[in-house]
């Protein structure tokens, strides 16, 4: 089984709950979808509650680095 979203670097419980609502539950789901597409879907679902920092956090989580390093 793939790593759970909340166990990935930069992504905590709140982001995991939001990603679960767009059916992204594991690292593999996020990698397959891509950070940009996940961001678009979160933005559509949650509107102003999703900032550009969410995109940085997801891309950094996929790359395995700190979001501030992007």
Report pLDDT digits (tens) over 8-57.
999 999 999 999 999 999 999 999 999 999 999 999 999 999 999 999 99
pTM score of the predicted model: 0.91
pLDDT band at 1 (very low <50, low <70, confident <90, very high): low
The domain in which residue 56 lies consists of: 5-69
Tokens encoding 19: 């990603």
**For residue 15, which of 64, 41, 63, 65 has the smallest C-alpha distance?**
41
Neighbour tally for 57: CB within 10 Å: 23
The number of distinct structural domains making up the chain is: 1
Report the CATH number that the domain containing residue 19 is assigned in CATH: 1.10.150.20
């Amino acid at each position: 089984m793939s790593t759970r979203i909340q166990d990935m670097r930069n992504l905590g419980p709140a982001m995991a709950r939001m990603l679960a609502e767009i059916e992204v539950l594991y690292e593999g789901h996020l990698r397959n979808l891509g950070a940009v597409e996940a961001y678009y879907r979160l933005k559509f679902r949650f509107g102003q509650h999703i900032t550009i920092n969410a995109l940085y956090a997801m891309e950094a989580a996929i790359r395995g680095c700190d979001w501030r390093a992007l």
